Amino acid sequence: MTESLILSIESSCDDTSAAVLRGTTVLSNCTSTQPEHTKFGGVIPEVAGRAHQHNMLPVIDRALREAGVGFQDLNAIAVTQGPGLSGSLLVGLTYAKSLSLALGIPLYGIHHMQAHILAHFVNSSEYWPSFPFLNLTVSGGHTQLVLVHSPLQMEVLAETIDDAAGEAFDKAAKLLGLNYPGGPEIDKYAQLGDAKKYSFNHPQVKGGDYSFSGMKTSLLYFLRDQLKENPNFIEEERHHIAASYQEAIVTYLLKVAKKKIQELKVSTFTLAGGVSANSALRSKALKLGEELGIQVYIPKFEYCTDNAAMIGVVGYFQYQASMTALDMAACPRPRWKLD
Ligand code: KG4
Ligand code: ZN
């Protein structure tokens, strides 16, 4: 039997992405980003929805062309149904529904956070993590420790009670006068900074959950006090502040994860989501793996931040399991919980 050919579409936030997968092999993965938001210092939902409308067809066209296939070759469509911005999700879902109806092929509504985790399953099964494993998902909207029993069965064990780790990066970057999205900017500045120069405390949250809003506030007060003494403090110290703040976030993320790994006695730990592109998090997670004698998996850069290939992988597993396809009355699910 030939493997399924799936077109997947992702438009939950500010990236318009389309991919074509043969089985779990990525034939194309095309993303159009939205520079429109940079001047606002964050994603403006209405602007994102309009940009998706503009970008969607060209991105789908490009994905099909790069994969060397046509609409008539497809077996199924997979689209992000939630969580995310309602207007943004609606654009992807509407295109996907139209295609599914016109081509007479099933449509799968995909959970964005499940897809981030299944980014580990793109391409050859030789490199897939073995079940069960503990995954730390760190994105712009979520921070979760998830016990992954199988591609289609996941259990959220802990999550942030306020801001996500990505937000902690983005908000700090704004305070430091850096562009949106702030995570890659802080990562870049931190490369040349001394991570031990300043210290930022992280909170203790009962039950192994995370909290990030206090860290951002402590940075705000720290900068306010320093700027009173030296109005050029941020300019002069930006690299060291970025490195120290990044160190605090990464140490905190892995400290809580380590406790959970030891409690569960799992032998595999994985990272997923946009913040797993962070260089300090990647290297410290690998070190943690060495220390604990466990396997650590981190997706390739292009599969960490939002992309349609990861949506296609979930579509593949749902198609294989003959799961129920969406009907044409399906709506976006902006606040969809993982389990
Ligand atoms: O997963 P993602 O692309 O979108 C959501 O589902 O939210 O994650 C976006 C988040 C943003 O907060 C961005 O600042 C952060 O990922 N991010 C990073 C890095 N690259 C992206 N944070 C820290 N370091 C990075 N290198
Ligand atoms: Zn995401």
Angle in degrees, CA 151, 152, 155, rounded to 5? 95
| Alpha carbon of 112 to ligand 2 centroid (Å) | 6
- Ligand 1 atom nearest to CA at 112: 6
Residues in contact with ligand 1 (CB, 6 Å cut-off): 13, 139-141, 166, 169-170, 181-184, 187, 273-275, 277-278, 305-306
- Ligand 1 atom nearest to CA at 84: 6
DSSP 42-95: S--HHHHHHHHHHHHHHHHHHHHHHHT--GGG-SEEEEEEESS-HHHHHHHHHH
- Ligand 1 atom nearest to CA at 246: 23
pLDDT value at residue 207: 82
| Alpha carbon of 235 to ligand 2 centroid (Å) | 31
Q: Which residues have CB under 8 Å from 22's CB, separation 6+?
A: 3, 4, 5
Nearest CA to ligand 1 atom 7: 140
d(CA 333, CA 312): 18
> Closest-lying ligand to the alpha carbon of 138?
1
286: left (phi over 0), alpha (psi -120 to 50) or beta: alpha
Ordered per-residue pLDDT tens for the chain, 339 residues: 579 999 999 999 999 999 999 999 999 999 999 999 988 888 999 999 999 999 999 999 999 999 999 999 999 999 999 999 999 999 999 999 999 999 999 999 999 999 999 999 998 888 899 999 999 999 999 999 999 999 999 999 999 999 999 999 999 999 999 999 999 999 999 999 999 999 998 888 888 899 999 999 999 999 999 999 999 999 999 999 999 999 999 999 999 999 999 999 999 999 999 999 999 999 999 999 999 999 999 999 999 999 999 999 999 999 999 999 999 999 999 999 998
pLDDT value at residue 1: 59
| Alpha carbon of 197 to ligand 2 centroid (Å) | 32
Nearest CA to ligand 1 atom 3: 305
pLDDT value at residue 41: 87
Residue range 75-125, pLDDT digits in tens: 999 999 999 999 999 999 999 999 999 999 999 999 999 999 999 999 888
Residue range 318-330, pLDDT digits in tens: 999 999 999 999 9
Note if the pTM is more than 0.75: yes
